Amino acid sequence: MKAPAFSYMRAESVEHALELLSRHGDAAKILSGGQSLLPALNLRLAAPAILIDIGRLDELRGIDLRDNVVTIGALTRHVDLLASEEILSSLPLLRQAAAHVAHPAIRNRGTIGGNLAHADPASEFPACMLALDARMVIRREDGERRVDARDFFRGIYETALEPCELLVAIEIPRPQSGSRTYFHEFVRRSGDYAMTGLAALAHLDGAQFADLRLSYFAIGDRPYLARATSHLVGVAITGERIAEAQAALDAELDPPDDQQASAAMRRHFARLLLSRCVANVLERPELAMEAVT
Amino acid sequence: MTTARIALMVNGEKISAEVPARLNLADFVRDQLGLTGTHVGCEHGVCGACTMRVNGEIIRSCLTLAVQADGCAVETIEGLSDSGEIADLQAAFRERNALQCGYCTPGMLITAQDLLLKHADPERTEIREHLSGNYCRCTGYHAIVDAVERTAKARQRRP
């Protein structure tokens, strides 16, 4: 279908965008790359009266590493993340994830800020933000605030952003050296939204986990940090421990049934991702076999 | 404003037009410029039939507003075809029967050329990955991958 009619305004600066947002509030939507918003408009899932185009605000673009914090401008595109040496060396999880976000033509226009503000529960980046303990930098006309990823995602397409606010950057603490990452998603076609996926960050202490953050997506109305990892931290990992963690994971999840996958299928994927992640991070492939569910 | 004046280059030609804000780039080139080689399939970014190049990068023209292309250099399948840039790729598609109905072909050609420009000698899995956002409902993809691979090899042999 075609998008409904709307008025179009091109912001000349961040201040201008904030002024337009504060003037038009709920009636307006921010347009950055448009790779989530335009499908929503074309499918008539959204019908804002006004689009405020921030796509040309170069001040919102770029990746900067300072004092062990990586700051990513909201207009940084997926293709920029894939090409960035800083991301590769500091946040490999984000690079792994970016390769799974849609297709090359979409990655050339889609922006990380647009992706996060859209908050699709099946999207890769929100789960990465949770795994990496990122902070969203949010501006409004009268100031700036920071919101942790765990408080930012509030539900399907819902975030902590107020109508007058703009997500301008994401701050991600650089994981300590020696940390390990794992990313995998189950999809019907490469680049499609996941049926279930996992973004993980682990810190090892010898052969054990000192910390393990398993952030699932397409498993509920927002990315989800599994509590079941408490069964795996600070203990010797065996097939039995993994089975315990899988059972605990199963008990805490409440996945939806929809046209993408049944709840039972998602539970199966989630358990499988847990064992594969642990086996992969510990470099003990036999663990994934022992723990097959 | 519900309409806007835009100025852009399309296939090397300067274009100036008044467009509704909601008009996407695919409909703009098809309906206002008569360039119907760009096909419109799903209109929500899934099928890849509307792939174009904007400032040298491939994009979904159904997910790009015409107003967003203001000041940009747009290349459609007509541009790539008329300049001869992809003549060998088109010939390989024809020889290998990499199209039947042809609906997906403009998008396939532009996406495949994008890969070959970046990556002169791709593996078959890389070809499949790069084309993963382009649906073909006729060929089963095998012949398309063959045609792209054959073109890559032939270009490498070129002096």
Question: In this predicted model, what pLDDT tens digit does every residue of A47-105 receive, in sequence order?
Answer: 999 999 999 999 999 999 999 999 999 999 999 999 999 999 999 999 999 999 999 99
Query: A238: helix, coil or strand?
Result: coil
Residue B57 has pLDDT above 80, yes or no: yes
Q: Which of A39, A32, A36, A35 is nearest to A17 (CA)?
A: A32
How large is the average pLDDT for residues A200-213? 97
- The answer to whether B6 contacts chain A (CB < 8 Å) is no
Locate the chain A residue with the closest alpha carbon to B58: A105
Tens digits of residue pLDDT in B14-39: 999 999 999 999 999 999 999 999 99
pLDDT at A291 over 80: no
Class of B86-157 in CATH: mainly alpha
Q: Please report which confidence band the pLDDT of residue A292 belongs to, taking 50, 70 and 90 as the band edges.
A: low
Rounded to the nearest integer, the mean pLDDT of chain B is: 97
Half-sphere exposure (Cβ direction) of B72: Cα atoms closer than 13 Å: 22
And the tokens for A30? 């921010």
Higher pLDDT: B111 or A192? It is B111
Min Cα separation A182/chain B (Å): 20
Helix, coil or strand: residue A161: coil
* Interchain proximity A5–B4, CB inside 8 Å: no
Nearest CA distance, A55 vs chain B (angstrom): 8
Nearest CA distance, A34 vs chain B (angstrom): 6
Instruction: Report CB contact under 8 Å: B64, A109.
Output: yes
**How many Cβ atoms sit within 10 Å of the Cβ of residue A111?**
27
For residue A293, is pLDDT > 70? Answer: no
The pLDDT, as a whole number, for residue A288 is 85
d(CA B58, CA A108): 7
Residue A289's pLDDT band, with cuts at 50, 70 and 90, is: confident
- Among A107, A40, A109, A207, CA closest to B54: A109
Distance CA B20, CA B1 (A): 9
The answer to whether the Cβ–Cβ distance between A38 and B65 falls below 8 Å is yes
Sorted by sequence, the CB contacts under 8 Å of residue A33 that are 6+ apart come out as A55, A75, A77, A109, A110, A111, A114
pLDDT band (50, 70, 90) for residue B159: confident
Those residues whose C-beta lies under 8 Å from the C-beta of residue B159, and which sit 6 or more positions away, are none
Query: Chain B: nearest CA to A38, how far in angstroms?
Result: 5
**Percentage of residues of chain B with pLDDT beyond 70:** 100
Tens-digit pLDDT profile for residues A130-174: 999 999 999 999 999 999 999 999 999 999 999 999 999 999 999
pLDDT of residue A13: 98
DSSP state of B23: -
The hierarchical CATH code for the domain B3-77 is: 3.10.20.30
Average pLDDT, chain A: 96
Q: Among residues 69-108 of chain B, which lie with CB inside 8 Å of chain A?
A: none
Domain boundaries, chain B: 3-77, 86-157
Which of A8, A29, A120 is the mutation pick for testing B, counting most B CBs within 10 A? A8
Q: Which domains does chain A have, with CATH numbers?
A: 7-53 (3.30.43.10), 58-172 (3.30.465.10), 181-290 (3.30.390.50)
- Candidate from A4, A34, A104 with C-beta closest to B64: A34
Across the interface, whether the CB atoms of A189 and B132 are under 8 A apart is answered yes
Rounded to the nearest angstrom, the minimum Cα separation between B68 and chain A is 8
List the single residue in A with minimal CA-CA distance to B46: A192
